[in-house]
Structures are given as C-alpha cells and as structure tokens.
Amino acid sequence: MTLDATDYAKPLPFVTRENREFWEGCLRGELRFQKCARCGHVRYPAATLCPNCLFEEAEWIRSSGRGRLWSWIVFHKAYMDTFSGDLPYNVALVELDEVPFIMSSMVDPVEDLEIGAEVEVVFDQVTPDIALPKFKLSRVSD
Ligand SMILES: [Zn+2]
C-alpha cells in the first residue's frame, strides 16, 4: 500500500524547527524528547527554551515509549466530519517514564482499558511524512 498525503483528511501536526526531530523520530519508530543540557528537564512538547530553567541548549533522547494510562475519554460525537467514521473513539492521557504526560489515543478496545495500566507506544503512519504516536496496552509475558 502506498500512502498518499491526500488520503488522510484529519488534522496533521505542524512540523517546525523545534519539533522536527520529534516527528522524524516517530517516522523511524522512535519517541524522542529534548533533554535540557543544564538542568536535565525533559521537554514535551518540543520548545526553544527549557520551561524549568529557560536554558536553550538541549539534546534529543530516545524515550522508552513506556508508561501508564493516566486517563481517557470517549468521544461519541464527531466535532469534525473527518472523525465521524471513527466514532466512538478515545483520547488518552499517558504518563510516560520520561515526561509527565502525552495526549494521544489507545489502539485497544475501550472495554480493556484500566487506569494505571502499563502501555507502550506504537506508531500510526498516516502520510508519507507523519507517523502519529499512539499507545497499546503492554502484554506482560509470564
Ligand atoms: Zn533546564
């Protein structure tokens, strides 16, 4: 299957100088964040200045992509027509190991979701240039 940018009608992120590394990482299957070179604070979303100490310099680190499901909501009404085919769909808040929260969505059925459940990132490539980070429940092997 070939992805065509015109096949995806939902809103896409704006790739900027600050967040380009984040989105290029997603295309490679890596969740990446800026880590402040002065205080070590991990920034999300990407920013020019550290929100903790206002320092500019940062290095990009690769996230484990693991965290916990903090909360979620289920949309039963589409506020944009392009989402009507997805109803009902969820919007989830995930607490990652590296950053406090990332807003995303869970790929699992809502009935399977539990507050605090261990989750891991998966990538949904929606255009040739954009892969959206989403999350799935981690399956603990025993
Ligand atoms: Zn800092």
The 10s digit of each residue's pLDDT in 88-130 is 999 999 999 988 799 999 999 999 999 999 999 999 999 999 9
The strand ranges marked E within the chain are 32-36, 42-43, 58-62, 66-75, 89-96, 102-104, 118-125, 131-137
Q: Ligand 1 centroid vs 36 CA: distance in angstroms? A: 5
Q: Ligand 1 centroid vs 25 CA: distance in angstroms? A: 22
Q: Ligand 1 centroid vs 27 CA: distance in angstroms? A: 27
pLDDT value of position 29: 97
Alpha helices in 1-142 (DSSP H): 20-27
